[in-house]
Structures are given as structure tokens and as C-alpha cells.
């Protein structure tokens, strides 16, 4: 169970005045507006507010003293959340509530782009141009938002800071809080002559063209992030990011499994029997010589090391696995058929009698 007395740093027999005093001191110390962006302070403040909420209420205090515990949710639900408690104690109109700094100009949007590659491009990396519609920098005002020849003026209300200190009268006395400047919406600047093309936005709709550097080893589903290459931000602030979604087109010769490539090669019945040489194509171009020994059985797999896909962001390469298929002839002419039937006789095989020339078209 939480020790609300400990959180407020008061004795168990502290009176209402002492509890209020302790809370006032701790609340000022840990208040989110006094510690912008500090999550620890925010959590401490919640604890302090919760402790005060219980100990300042005679009924809850006596329930707590009898050993009942209160869930934070139960406590705050009757106020509609912590924001409402803050309103009670400190008055309304915080600078956007917890953790919200002044907004300033709006950052650009993130954009997703799909990029189709063939297998070799995905394996060995490439450069590709992509185009997409997006917000782009306004060329007329060079993103400033001001008509050429004019500049934004510094907001006089906030002196260009975008935030203003506001004194609030609260239950705890006067408290200084920080709020977004209402005149400039937190940007710190005012545009008195807005650019006619972008209406002061500093950005327009248009087509963006980017060159994407694709690293080696990408695969379908790989997502590349290009920082700040996406939609333009308002008045020149940072652009959004571009997420490039890779899709690799199927390849006729190679099937990719992880970083390995699989290739099928078909040899004849006689070749499997006596052995043969095959030229295996390589993804990077050229071929690799593969010796198929005599007596090779169908579906034998040979592994050619380090001729697969280079590993993404790691060293090394996968392997090339060559599956050897043994072709059964379906197109024997008369001479070949005679030869094969003689072979069957010698081996004691009993092939079905077929009409001569069955295979011939």
C-alpha cells in the first residue's frame, strides 16, 4: 500500500494545515510546468496529488488510516482525470497540459513509397529514383511564408519565444505557468505579408523526386527510412520522413529463401548415369562450373558457397543451392526408342509395349 504520509513527508498525526502546506511545497517543486518534459517529475507530481487528494479529505483519510487502499484510477475518476485535479488546484488553461511544449510550426508529414526491384538489384544494392506527390517547399518565398521582399516579424507578445509566462491565481496562491503564445500560435513570428502562392504556409503541393540508395541484401518487406525527405514542414521547419517499402519481383532463375538462392537444373537420364558438367548461372552475371558425378540421383542438391544474397547490414553472403532434376524423356524418336528398349532388355526391365512412334508428334 502506498504511504501517503511518506509521499507528502508529514507525520501520521499531521493536521489539515500541515498537510496542505506540505502539498503546496511539493506541488510547486514537481509541477509539470516547472519541469517541462521530465517524466519523473510528472510521476512524482501524480503521487503527490494522489496523496493530497486522500489526506485532505477527512472521510478518505480515515479510510486510509484504517488500512484501505485507493487505486489511482478510482481516485481520479470522480474528477474526470488528473487534468481536472490540476484545474482545481492550479486553475485552468495550462500550457497544453502535461508534456506539451509550445507547438511552433507544424512538422512535415511522413510519406510511404513503394519501390519495386528485381532480384539482383535487391541483392547487390542500387540507386533508384522515386517520385511522389507531397507538400514541397514553396519556391516563391523560399519556404519563409512571406511575400518576397518581406520577412516575418518577431511576435511582440512573446518576444519570439512562442511561449508566454502566465500568472495564475490558484488555491495555492499565485503560480507562474507557461502557455503557448496565442498571437503567433507558438511560432514566435508573425507573417504580416503572406506569400501569395503558399498563403504564408511556406509549402505547396507538388511532386517530389528522390534518389533512393538501396543497400545490398534488402528483401520484400524491408523498409528504408529517409530522414526528413518527406512532406515539407510549415515555413521551413523539418520535413517528414520517407519510408521506402521494398518489393522484390519474382525471378525466373532463382528462388530466394532467406539469404540463400535456389536454382534448378535439369539433366538427361544418360547424363545422370555417366556424370556431366553444367554451367550454373550466377545472380551477379556469368556462370559457375558444376561437375555432376556419375550416378547422380534426381533431386540431388549441390551447394555453391557464397553465391547467394549478400547479408543486409552484415558481412558475408548466402549460398547458391543447385537442385539437379533428372529429365525423363518424352520425345524419343525411333532410333532412341530402340536403343532404350535394348537397354531395358539387358537390364531385365519390362517396359510397357507401346505403339512405335508414340512420342513423335
How far apart, in whole angstroms, are the C-alpha atoms of residue 244 and residue 112?
A: 6
C-beta of 101: minimal distance to Zn ion in Å?
14
Of 25 and 157, the one with the shorter C-beta distance to Zn ion is: 157
Could you tell me the three cell numbers for 77?
A: 475518476
C-beta of 110: minimal distance to Zn ion in Å?
22
Of 96 and 298, the one with the shorter C-beta distance to Zn ion is: 96
Of 152 and 240, the one with the shorter C-beta distance to Zn ion is: 152
Residue located via cell numbers 517528414: 240
Of 90, 57, 85, nearest in space to 172 by CA: 90
Of 357, 298, 292, nearest in space to 327 by CA: 298
C-beta of 182: minimal distance to Zn ion in Å?
8
Q: Considering the rule CB under 5 A, would residue 321 count as an interface residue with Zn ion?
A: no
Q: Considering the rule CB under 5 A, would residue 10 count as an interface residue with Zn ion?
A: no
How far apart, in whole angstroms, are the C-alpha atoms of residue 113 and residue 117?
A: 13
With 0-12 CB in 10 A as exposed, 13-18 as middle and 19+ as buried, what is 207?
exposed
- Output phi, psi for 354, to 5 deg: -120, 155
Binding residues for Zn ion, rule CB under 5 A, total 12
C-beta of 176: minimal distance to Zn ion in Å?
17
Give the residue, chosen from 119, 155, 246, 320, that forms a contact with Zn ion under the rule CB under 5 A: 155
Greatest extent of the chain over all pairs of C-alpha atoms, in Å = 115
Of 218, 288, 285, nearest in space to 256 by CA: 218
Residue located via cell numbers 517529475: 41
Of 31 and 203, the one with the shorter C-beta distance to Zn ion is: 203
Give the residue, chosen from 88, 140, 238, 276, that forms a contact with Zn ion under the rule CB under 5 A: 140
C-beta of 184: minimal distance to Zn ion in Å?
3
Of 125 and 236, the one with the shorter C-beta distance to Zn ion is: 236
**Residues 6+ away with beta carbon under 8 Å from 285:** none
C-beta of 225: minimal distance to Zn ion in Å?
28
Give the residue, chosen from 141, 175, 320, 321, that forms a contact with Zn ion under the rule CB under 5 A: 141
Contact map string, positions 166 to 205, toward Zn ion, x by CB under 5 A: ---------------x-xx----------x-xx-------
Q: Considering the rule CB under 5 A, would residue 138 count as an interface residue with Zn ion?
A: yes
C-beta of 199: minimal distance to Zn ion in Å?
8
Cα 199 to Cα 143, 204, 232, 304: the distances in Å are 11, 9, 15, 62
- The H-or-E segment that residue 321 falls in is strand 320-327
Cα 120 to Cα 44, 117, 210, 218: the distances in Å are 56, 8, 21, 10
Of 35 and 185, the one with the shorter C-beta distance to Zn ion is: 185
C-beta of 90: minimal distance to Zn ion in Å?
23
C-beta of 159: minimal distance to Zn ion in Å?
8
With 0-12 CB in 10 A as exposed, 13-18 as middle and 19+ as buried, what is 228?
middle
Of 38 and 197, the one with the shorter C-beta distance to Zn ion is: 197
- Among the listed ranges 41-49, 155-163, 166-174, 320-328, the one in contact with Zn ion (CB under 5 A) is 155-163
- Binding site residues, Zn ion, CB under 5 A: 138, 140-141, 155, 157-158, 181, 183-184, 195, 197-198
Amino acid at each position: 500500500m502506498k504511504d501517503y504520509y511518506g509521499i507528502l513527508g508529514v507525520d501520521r498525526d499531521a493536521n489539515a494545515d500541515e498537510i496542505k502546506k506540505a502539498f503546496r511545497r511539493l506541488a510547486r517543486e514537481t509541477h509539470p510546468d516547472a519541469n517541462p518534459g521530465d517524466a519523473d517529475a510528472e510521476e512524482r507530481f501524480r503521487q503527490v496529488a494522489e496523496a493530497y487528494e486522500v489526506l485532505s479529505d477527512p472521510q478518505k483519510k480515515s479510510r486510509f488510516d484504517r488500512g484501505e487502499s485507493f487505486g489511482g484510477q478510482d481516485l481520479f475518476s470522480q474528477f474526470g482525470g488528473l487534468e481536472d485535479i490540476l484545474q482545481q488546484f492550479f486553475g485552468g488553461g495550462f500550457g497544453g497540459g502535461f508534456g506539451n511544449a509550445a507547438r511552433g510550426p507544424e512538422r512535415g508529414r511522413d510519406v510511404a513509397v513503394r519501390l519495386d526491384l528485381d532480384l539482383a538489384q535487391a541483392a547487390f544494392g542500387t540507386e533508384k529514383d522515386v517520385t511522389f506527390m507531397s507538400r514541397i517547399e514553396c519556391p516563391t518565398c523560399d519556404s519563409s511564408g512571406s511575400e518576397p521582399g518581406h520577412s516575418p516579424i518577431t511576435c511582440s507578445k512573446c518576444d519570439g519565444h512562442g511561449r508566454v509566462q502566465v500568472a495564475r491565481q490558484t488555491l495555492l496562491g499565485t503560480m507562474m505557468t507557461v502557455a503557448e503564445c496565442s498571437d503567433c500560435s507558438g511560432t514566435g513570428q508573425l507573417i504580416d505579408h503572406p506569400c501569395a502562392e503558399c498563403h504564408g504556409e511556406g509549402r505547396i503541393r507538388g511532386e517530389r523526386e528522390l534518389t533512393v540508395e538501396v543497400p545490398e541484401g534488402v528483401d520484400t518487406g524491408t523498409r528504408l527510412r529517409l530522414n526528413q525527405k518527406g512532406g515539407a514542414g510549415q515555413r521551413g521547419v523539418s520535413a517528414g520522413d520517407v519510408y521506402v517499402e521494398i518489393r522484390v519481383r519474382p525471378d525466373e532463375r532463382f528462388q530466394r529463401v532467406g539469404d540463400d538462392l535456389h536454382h534448378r537444373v535439369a539433366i538427361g537420364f544418360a547424363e545422370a548415369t555417366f556424370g556431366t558438367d553444367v554451367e550454373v548461372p550466377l545472380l551477379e552475371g556469368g556462370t559457375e562450373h558444376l561437375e555432376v558425378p556419375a550416378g547422380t540421383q534426381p533431386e540431388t542438391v549441390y551447394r555453391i558457397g557464397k553465391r547467394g544474397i549478400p547479408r543486409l547490414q552484415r558481412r558475408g553472403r548466402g549460398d547458391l543451392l543447385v537442385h539437379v532434376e533428372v529429365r525423363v524423356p518424352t520425345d524419343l524418336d525411333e532410333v532412341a526408342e530402340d536403343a532404350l528398349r535394348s537397354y531395358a532388355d539387358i537390364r531385365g526391365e519390362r517396359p510397357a509395349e507401346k505403339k512405335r512412334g508414340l512420342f513423335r508428334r
